[in-house]
Structure 1
Amino acid sequence: MATKQLTPEIIDPIAFQDFRDALSDYAPQLEQLVCQLEDGSGNEEKIAQLFRILHSIKGDANLCQVHFFEPYMNVLEHLLDRVRHKELPYLDVLGDVLLLVMDRLVLMLDAVAEDLPLDDLRMDALRIRLEPLLEKKPEDLPQACAWLVSSMMGQAPSVPAPTQEAGNGHGGHRFADLQFFRSLAAQLEQRLPAFSGRTERNLALALETNRLSERPVPMEQLAAAIYMHDIGMMLLPESLWLKAGNLSVEDRRQLSAHPGWAAGLLERMPDWQEAARMVAQHHERPDGSGYPDGVRDGAICPGACVLALVDAFESVMLKHAQQGQRRSMLRAVAELNASERQFDSYWLQLFNQVVRTRLELGSVVGGA
């Protein structure tokens, strides 16, 4: 099934705005259904509702002459139709694809409305990666979907997606490991409601920053580090996480141990040594004032530098959340730059570019 590429343009301004208004109603309904289907029930009625929403979006796009939506909606509708007819199972990772595509389409619609450039949205790359999903066998679809999501959130590696290769001990297990790491991060988020969505926001920021680098770190290693960097906190009393006011010396000693516990787990698993180093060093600082080892400057690995930035940014965003999305983003990036000695200057400049682009596009952090 071949899709066609159409140049984004506004043919009928009134109809275009009508479609934007309709999509603003459809998008949260779609997101809610995807979240409900994460319980693994494969509820047929919810799947049918999801299909009807996609079908309605596609029909409205055609009616309102927003034809550049068609290539993306054709693929999503066809995939859901196969799920509906039990040719494919419904999988969480398929839901991830649906949300990713819809998020990008909403951003594209906003950018077209405001006559903004579309390059950073990488819509052509998304279309090229999306279409092959139509031909995937059920057993190959989960990995293909995960690869699409990962490649769109950051720089796709020059090697193919990992495959199950018998006996070599490499590649095939990494996808399963990443899913395990992600599940641990989700458990941590459940224990702290304020952390809801934090992992995916951090991952999106980290991979976007990494994509801008002339010397990017391996995407899978960075993703693993994002998922795992605070897992050691689960071994500490929750009262310590939530403690208000100044921390005692003993409190700080306990908190400083959490990167080592998560890093230790990664070190003991095949192929995750680089991610382990990122986790172990993400609280180190170029001036040597960080912990746990007081590592300085170039001795801190690049992935840890990226992780330190997104972790600090999320913390400041949370602190200023009551001020609204845009204002809290501005406050957070300002605080990071005011504390620039705490961060690697090369990666800080790239991170600034990512945040600036999001502010210009009016994007919500993490693509939410």
Structure 2
Amino acid sequence: MEIASVDLINPQVEDWNSFQDFRDALADHAPEIETLVAKLKQAPEDRVIITNLFREFHNIKGDAGLCRLPFVIPIIHSAETLLSRMRDGEIICSDGLAEIFLLTLDRIEQAIDLLAERQPLAPLGLLSLANGLDSLSRQAVAELDAATIRLIEAVTGFKPGSALNKDFSPSTQQRSSNELHQDLVFFRELALQLEARSPLFQGRTERNLSYALATNKIAGNRVDPEQLEAAVYLHDIGMMFLPESQWLKPEKLSDEAKVALQRHPLWAAEIANRFVGWQQATQMILQHHETVIGSGYPNGLGEKDICDGAKILAIVDAFEAILLKHSHRGQQKSTLRAIAEINAGDRQFSAPWVKAFNQVIRNQIETNA
């Protein structure tokens, strides 16, 4: 099947029952692919791992054909071609190629999630991805590394580097009022109590604070840094009023649980609002799950009604969630995969603030390269 003959810009679901079957099967294949890619990075010439990884991708392609989702097929076919060349000993798996396999999986999962919500797939750039993968799969060995870097940059907006998701420890910003400073100390303690609920959250508070403050700084500190710091500490405190099964476990939530979960910004904002002097932070907390197209909660605000601090917080919060999204599979997403997903969410986040956040991540990658 020629790529040009497949609708990769606006694919349609022909049979919703079959679509759900594919979605369920993909959920089974995805964690195995992530595990196999991790193993392949450690043993890049292991043909048993390569064969098993090929089989997982091939099964997804077969499922897509049976479930009448043809847009998946050319994307997966190119990944299969790369794996076939590895299996034949023509090429050796590099970290870049491993990243390509994971980014391919991410895009397919994102596409299926968007289709399930009846949202457009244009932000994912599937046609460009399919063409890029097709070109990469046919590259001469001598040109493969350079082509891999180009494709990763095309998908994520970043050149790959040896970036690590490390903790940052910025010094606490101080106000002239000792009382407000003590409030910040208390807010931080609350955040650390929330962080202690799961080992997956270790370092979460400092990461979020570092990303938020750095993003704000790149944009010229348009948001009061102390107010933003307070919002970082308190934005998810409302989660502590919910059963842990509703926010620490990967199980699918019931409609009732989703409604309860969507109240956590209200609870957190109410706590912040009871401390005099933190009204800006309160607004950021209340709005951090609103989206630029008005599909967020709790009030369905549009971009013009969302404060800048909430726009920063939304990106930082989502980035952390994406990094941990598949931790129950035993694999955390890389920085490149997470930032690619953020940049694909142009219907969720404010574009100018995404641009500033991109620069923060780019600086991190370049520093650790």
Report the TM-score, using the length of structure 1 for normalisation. 0.51
1:90 and 2:28 correspond = no
Relative contact order (alpha carbons < 8 A, sep ≥ 6): 1 or 2 greater?
2
* Per-residue deviation, 1:133: 1.0
The number of residue pairs the alignment matches comes to 245
Of stretches 317-326 and 141-150 in structure 1, the one that deviates more from structure 2 is 317-326
What letter matches 1:108 in structure 2?
Answer: A
Q: Secondary structure at the match of 2:96?
A: helix
Change (3 A) 1:140 1:24: same
Contact 2:79 2:101 in 1 (8 A): yes
Select which of 282, 304, 320 maps to 1:338.
Answer: 282
Select which of 142, 151, 168 maps to 1:230.
Answer: 168
Change (3 A) 1:24 1:232: same
What letter matches 2:75 in structure 1?
Answer: Y
Contact 2:170 2:210 in 1 (8 A): no
Task: After the TM superposition, list the runs of 4 or more consecutive aligned residues in structure 1 that deviate by more than 4 angstroms.
Answer: 281-286, 303-306, 312-323, 325-337, 345-348, 353-359
Which residue of the partner structure matches residue 302 of structure 1?
219
What letter matches 1:230 in structure 2?
Answer: F
* Per-residue deviation, 1:10: 1.9
Select which of 320, 324, 345 maps to 2:247.
Answer: 324
Select which of 7, 11, 16 maps to 2:14.
Answer: 11
Which residue of the partner structure matches residue 82 of structure 2?
79
The Cα offsets for residues 121-142 of structure 1, whole Å up to 9 and x where unpaired, read as 3323323433321232334333
Select which of 308, 311, 318 maps to 1:349.
Answer: 311
* Per-residue deviation, 1:87: 1.3
C-alpha distance in structure 2 between counterparts of 1:18 and 1:59, whole Å = 12
Point out where structure 1 has 5 or more consecutive residues left out of the alignment: 162-174, 186-198, 200-226, 234-245, 248-278, 287-296
* Per-residue deviation, 1:102: 1.2
C-alpha distance in structure 1 between counterparts of 2:69 and 2:31, whole Å = 20
C-alpha distance in structure 2 between counterparts of 1:90 and 1:20, whole Å = 28
Which residue of the partner structure matches residue 192 of structure 2?
none
**Superposed, which structure 2 residues align to 1:225-264 within 5 Å?**
230=168
What letter matches 1:338 in structure 2?
Answer: T
Point out where structure 2 has 5 or more consecutive residues left out of the alignment: 172-183, 186-206, 249-257, 270-279, 286-306, 327-332, 343-369
Select which of 36, 39, 45 maps to 2:39.
Answer: 36
C-alpha distance in structure 1 between counterparts of 2:145 and 2:238, whole Å = 36
The Cα offsets for residues 174-211 of structure 1, whole Å up to 9 and x where unpaired, read as x6xx32xx2xx2xxxxxxxxxxxxx3xxxxxxxxxxxx
Which residue of the partner structure matches residue 67 of structure 2?
64
Select which of 126, 130, 140 maps to 2:129.
Answer: 126
Percent identity between the aligned chains? 26
Contact 1:26 1:53 in 2 (8 A): yes
C-alpha distance in structure 2 between counterparts of 1:282 and 1:358, whole Å = 12
Which residue of the partner structure matches residue 193 of structure 2?
none
Which residue of the partner structure matches residue 110 of structure 1?
113
C-alpha distance in structure 2 between counterparts of 1:231 and 1:131, whole Å = 43
The Cα offsets for residues 272-300 of structure 1, whole Å up to 9 and x where unpaired, read as xxxxxxx9x958969xxxxxxxxxx99x3
Change (3 A) 1:337 1:66: farther
Change (3 A) 1:50 1:357: closer
